[in-house]
Amino acid sequence: MSKPNKLTHSLDRFADILTAEDREKILDLQKQPLPTGIRINPLKADPATAIRDLAARYDWDVHPIPFCDNGWTIQSAGQSPGTTIEHRLGLYYLQDAASMVPVSLFDFSEPHPLVLDMAASPGGKTTHLVDRTGDKGFILANDGSQGRIPALRSVLSAWGGVNLAVTQYPGESLGGWFPETFDRVLLDAPCSMENLRPTVNHPLRDTTIDERLRLGERQLALLVSGLQSLKPGGLLVYATCSLAPEEDEAVLNALLDRFPRALSVRDVSDQLPFKTPGLTQFNGQPYHASLANALRLWPHLTGMSGFFTALIEKQASIPTPECEKPPTRSFSRTGLVRLDDETAKQLKIVISENYGLDLKAILNEYNLCLYERLDLIHLIPQRYLDHFRHLPYEWIGMPLGRLLADDFQPSPEFINRFGRHFKRGIIEIFGENIPQWIAGRDIRYPETDLSPEGQYLLVTDPAGRNLGLGKLLPKRLRNMLPR
């Protein structure tokens, strides 16, 4: 038997539901590093092609994640996946495989869903929502902590989604502010992180029953708010990176006690390659039988970190007490002004001439509008304007670029997202210039047949990689990668 440690102590309280052999297997997992999970960005590349090229380029041994179409695990790596230019520019996101389960459970059969991500930072699951909706719904990515907003903005900016807005409000208030508004709600709840599979970033720590119960109370309040904001017939995914029943089944059990006829926990066992049902009792406390439909991802059964998640269907309305109205701000106070028709027409012509890109088709496909603030043009989601026009936000849509006289300076975000569709306005760099460019340095006297006129170009290499934005000047290619 392994020497007792913090994990051994944590496992002791599961003695009535885990055998001694199960507990020993979990302890043995600590000798094995958790494989790195990677999810390819389908907005920027074909995932199957991208993972093949990345594996060859960086000497990765990759294995598909069966429940996530765009997910793989990296079992070994010649170059760390967190150090590449592709990671920096949002071609992929590093995410534990267990964290890919919650969003994978959603059915997105509706073409343009309104989605609420209640506790979104740092943004991994938000980017997964962008992928699953094809960036054609609208996602309100909220987080209650102001200190976590910069990380969320950074991740979403790199990912390249346009149909989203970032807000910073208490999640407990959202149901009262926006009753029966959203088609899908994700609550990746704040938790104790008692996942029984420690990592470098999240080592083992002691938790107390008081902490777990306090967290459970807040999780229940967030859940009720999320369900109040959900339309009848809509779906909510509840998730924690904790295996503490006080934060998982006990919370859902209290929810079902409160709204016994309005909710059901869907059976999603056929969506995963392993059987890890939720608990129907713990420490002598019985739970609703339907909680067996939840997913309790024990590390020794899945090979992943510990995780809990459940898919809840709202079958009928639930009481929503009257409360104060949501914060409001006249949209005019944002400084954003709808781009006039003549300027919009000029912009579309310039983008077509410079890059062979049909901006009108993009606006139609993603239901976007052109707005300007000072001299910067933005892509703004029409669905935000339709449903949340007066809700103050921290970030919205995507900066498109600047129209300067008869020229156009694209934003790095626009280049990184839509560059794969360019037919013109591309410069290729070679040899030792590639690592120099990736390091953030300019290229002196680049090899090109283009006449240097200060034009803004998509930079690529012979492998066709999107290497960001550059400005071609008479003696150099100016590096405009995000710093």
Dist CA 257 CA 304 (whole Å): 31
DSSP-based helix, strand, coil % in the chain, nearest 5: 35, 25, 40
- CA-CA distance, 229 to 174, in Å (whole number)? 7
DSSP character string of 270-318 = GGSSS--BPPSEETTEE--GGGGGSEEE-HHHHSS--EEEEEEEE-S--
Report how far residue 145's alpha carbon sits from residue 163's, in angstroms, rounded to the nearest whole number. 22
> Which of 68, 191, 241, 323 is an active site residue?
241
Q: How many angstroms separate the CA atoms of 200 and 192, rounded? A: 16
Cis preceding linkage at 122, omega within 30 = yes
Residue 286 CA: distances (Å) to CA of 78, 95, 108, 180: 49, 34, 33, 31
The conformation of residue 188, written as its DSSP 8-state character, comes to: E
Instruction: Report how far residue 376's alpha carbon sits from residue 174's, in angstroms, rounded to the nearest whole number.
Output: 31
Residue type, 97: A
Asked if residues 185 and 119 have their Cβ atoms less than 8 Å apart, the reply is no
Least Cα distance to 214 among 247, 253, 170, 257 occurs for 247
Start-end of H helices in 178-243 = 209-229
Question: In the 8-state DSSP scheme, what is residue 405?
Answer: T
Report the C-alpha gap between 370 and 379 in whole angstroms. Answer: 5
Question: Does the annotation count 369 as an active-site position?
Answer: no
Give the residue numbers annotated as catalytic, written as ranges: 241
